[in-house]
Amino acid sequence: MRRALPWVLAVTFLIGFVASFAELQRMRNRFGEVSQHAFHDHAAVREFMIRAALADAPAPIVVLGDSITEMAPLPRQLCGRPVINAGVGGQTIAEAKQLAGRVLQDQGAFLLVLAVGANDAGSPTAQRDFTDLIETVKSLSTRPLVAIAVAADEPTNRAIEAAAAARDVRFIDPHLPPGAKMADGIHFTAAAYRAWVPALEAAISAECTM
């Protein structure tokens, strides 16, 4: 019995080690799944919220954008029509094109505003991507499209402006006050929104009355 005891202890230890290792690997795999889906879950939730808002909004004004739009204090109504905040944090121009095709293909919008580009800063394809976006969504808007600057760098805004001008899309570039960006140099401060939102409202109102 004494001779067998070390073997019993060794086997017990080995079984425990294997079980612990297997559990550790399972937890690591699960953590990997959660971390990989963190961003995608936000986009999915935002798309669900946008679809729900559209379902209760006949002929709405839709502002399609990224985190600049998502965090913007947009009015609930303009021109007597509901305003839908279709901003999704992290969204690129190409992704906005795909989202618009999915959520607006059935009902469209009275007026569609393109407020995207913050996540395309420095992209050599920004102008082409914005042109593709315009071509994809122009039939989804009853009124002519409106575009507004959101990118942190001027070259990207100028590329978007050029794409808009080539397709006769009104482009708005609000004059933001000093200190308009947060510490990351991308997102807007409250002072920036106090200039950006009224400029957007004015452009929408102008299209409503034309």
CATH number at residue 83: 3.40.50.1110
Q: Is the pLDDT of residue 2 over 80?
A: no
The burial of 153, by beta-carbon neighbours within 10 Å (0-12 exposed, 13-18 middle, 19 or more buried), is given as middle
Instruction: Tell me, yes or no, if the pTM score tops 0.75.
Output: yes
pLDDT of the residue at 27: 46
Q: Which of 13-17, 64-68, 156-160, 168-172 has the lowest mean pLDDT?
A: 13-17
What is d(CA 205, CA 79) in angstroms, rounded to the nearest whole number? Answer: 6
Q: DSSP assignment, residue 153? A: S
Structure token pair of residue 12: 């017990």
Q: Is residue 108 part of a domain?
A: yes
Q: Identify residue 149 by its one-letter amino acid code.
A: A
Q: Is residue 17 part of a domain?
A: no
Three-state DSSP at 75 gives coil
Q: Torsions phi, psi of 156, nearest 5?
A: -70, -40
Q: Is residue 128 part of a domain?
A: yes
Q: Is residue 25 part of a domain?
A: no
Mean pLDDT of the chain: 86
Please give the biggest Cα pair distance in the chain: 98
Q: Is residue 8 part of a domain?
A: no
Would you place residue 24 in the very low, low, confident or very high pLDDT band (cuts 50, 70, 90)?
A: very low
Q: Is the pLDDT of residue 11 over 80?
A: no
Three-state DSSP at 196 gives helix
Q: Which whole number is the average pLDDT over 170-189?
A: 90
Tell me how crowded residue 75 is: count the other CB atoms within 10 A of its CB: 13
Q: Is residue 21 part of a domain?
A: no
Q: How many domains does the chain have?
A: 1
What are the residues whose beta carbons fall under 8 Å from the beta carbon of 92, sequence distance 6 or more?
66, 116, 119, 120, 123, 129
- Boundaries of domain holding 191: 40-209
Q: Is residue 130 part of a domain?
A: yes
Q: Is residue 58 part of a domain?
A: yes
Three-state DSSP at 188 gives strand
Residue 26 Cα distances to 1, 12, 23, 34, angstroms: 37, 21, 5, 12
Q: How many Cα atoms are found within 13 Å in the side-chain-facing hemisphere of 156?
A: 21
Higher pLDDT, 151 or 209: 151
Q: Which whole number is the average pLDDT over 86-115?
A: 95
